[in-house]
């Protein structure tokens, strides 16, 4: 059901995806995180000067305020990183009340990598690592995670995945953000709700679930039996299927190419690549479901050394850009969302006092 007009992005059943009119393949090959973010937020590619100003604004706002660390230190050690992130992000909204609407948007996009990685680090009892203003969004994620600078190639790989994750029209989390925006709540509230929607395994949580499944299957020879068993039990195969893409998810294809390159360049994960291909082949043969972005993003993150439970928060690091664009678009021509539902319950019941029940 079409619920709105949007100029931000469009995914098509033919396996196409555009951001503001540009194909995902073009942006994946030629753009950067910051340039694609500018495009999604402003509806056009930036000039050199605009990009420099935007990038410098982001980097200057990438550090977390000390109050966030105080909140993080009160959370239980074993908490899931997505719950930690949602809590820390919501807390940020209580701290940045004085910022202008424009600075708020820059701030939340800029702070996401540090929120994701440092909230994970602190709650696991590690010291935070300050983001480096000389690094881009992708490189900073790996730098804060490892405490040392990643190679240029690894940074490039991480940035490609972030570009693919950045926006996807009216997916569940973006729609959630839009509904909250339509009540005129602030952008922190709307994106906290977006994080809550993203967490579920049918949406952003699928990358972590796909990696857990791949770990369980273990090797390519086990793929067919494992998938058959899941299908027989009517269970979902994580990282497969999509509401829009019925034959191919273009983001999964691009991430698969990336995985192949990562394996070739680093010499790590050859067996994991074979396992992914075997699962993809058998799921297509038995159920005609295509792999989605989550299925191939998970092994890329794994080879880059990202802990499985940080996979979904990393999705948020990039999708925050799309959420902010949807928040803005909703407010440009706002009317509160108030859908109808078909009532299928009982009618005309007579109230019986509790003493007589």
Residues that bind ligand ACO (CB under 6 A): 202-204, 206, 236-243, 287, 289, 292-294
Q: By C-beta, is 84 or 206 nearer to ligand ACO?
A: 206
Nearer to ligand ACO, 283 or 324 (CB): 283
Shortest CB 277 distance to ligand ACO, Å: 17
Of 115 and 206, which CB lies nearer to ligand ACO in the complex structure? 206
Q: How far is the CB of 347 from ligand ACO (least distance, A)?
A: 30
> What's the min distance (Å) between Cβ of 270 and ligand ACO?
24
- Minimal distance, residue 101 CB to ligand ACO, in Å: 28
Report the interhelical angle of 250-266 vs 293-303 (nearest 10°).
Answer: 20
Nearer to ligand ACO, 13 or 264 (CB): 13
The residues, ordered by sequence, that sit 6+ positions from 1 with a Cβ below 8 Å of its Cβ are none
In angstroms, give the least distance from the CB of 173 to ligand ACO: 8
**Whole-Å CA distances, 310 to 129, 223, 254, 301:** 16, 25, 21, 9
The DSSP string of 260-284 is: HHHHHHH---HHHHHHHHHHHHHHH
Residue 202: phi and psi, rounded to 5, are -80, -10
Closer to ligand ACO by CB, 260 or 287: give it.
Answer: 287
Could you tell me which residues come within 8 angstroms of residue 320 by beta carbon, excluding any fewer than 6 positions away? 108, 109, 112, 191, 194
Which run of H or of E encompasses 118?
helix 101-123
Smallest separation (angstroms) from ligand ACO to the CB of 231: 7
Q: Give the pair of three-digit tokens for residue 138.
A: 């992708």
**Closest Cα partner for 164 from 39, 328, 319, 7?**
319
Residue nearest to ligand ACO (CB): 241
- Closest to ligand ACO by CB, 62 or 292: 292
The DSSP result for 32-56, as a single string, is -HHHHHHHHHHSSPPPHHHHHHHHH
């Amino acid at each position: 059901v079409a619920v709105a007009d949007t100029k931000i992005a469009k995914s098509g059943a033919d396996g196409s995806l555009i951001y503001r009119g540009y194909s995902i393949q073009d942006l994946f090959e030629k753009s950067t995180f910051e340039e694609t973010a500018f495009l999604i937020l402003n509806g056009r590619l930036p000039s050199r000067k605009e990009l420099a100003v935007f990038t410098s604004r982001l980097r200057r706002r990438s550090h977390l305020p000390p109050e966030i660390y105080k909140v993080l230190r009160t959370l239980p050690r074993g908490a899931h990183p997505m719950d930690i992130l949602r809590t820390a992000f919501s807390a940020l909204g209580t701290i940045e009340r004085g910022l202008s609407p424009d600075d708020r948007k820059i701030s939340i996009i800029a702070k996401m990598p540090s929120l994701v990685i440092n909230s994970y680090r602190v709650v696991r009892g590690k010291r935070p690592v300050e983001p480096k203003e000389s690094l881009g969004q992708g490189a900073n994620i790996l730098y804060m995670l490892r405490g040392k600078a990643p190679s240029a190639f690894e940074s490039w790989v991480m940035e490609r995945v972030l570009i693919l994750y950045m926006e996807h029209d009216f997916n569940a989390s973006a729609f959630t953000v839009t509904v909250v925006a339509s009540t005129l709540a602030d952008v922190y509230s709307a994106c906290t709700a977006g994080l809550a929607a993203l967490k579920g395994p049918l949406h952003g949580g699928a990358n972590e679930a796909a990696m857990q499944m791949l770990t369980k299957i273990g090797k390519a020879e086990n793929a067919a039996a494992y998938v058959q068993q899941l299908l027989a039990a009517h269970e979902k195969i994580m990282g497969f299927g999509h509401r829009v893409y019925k034959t191919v998810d273009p983001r999964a294809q691009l991430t698969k190419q990336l995985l192949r390159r990562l394996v070739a360049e680093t010499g790590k994960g050859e067996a994991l690549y074979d396992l992914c291909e075997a699962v993809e082949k058998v799921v297509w043969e038995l159920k005609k479901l295509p792999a989605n972005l989550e299925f191939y993003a998970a092994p890329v993150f794994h080879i880059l050394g990202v802990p499985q439970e940080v996979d979904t928060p990393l999705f948020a690091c990039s999708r925050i850009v799309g959420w902010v664009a949807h928040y803005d678009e909703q407010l440009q021509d706002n009317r509160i969302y108030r859908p109808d539902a078909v009532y299928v319950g009982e009618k005309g019941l007579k109230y019986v006092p509790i003493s007589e029940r």
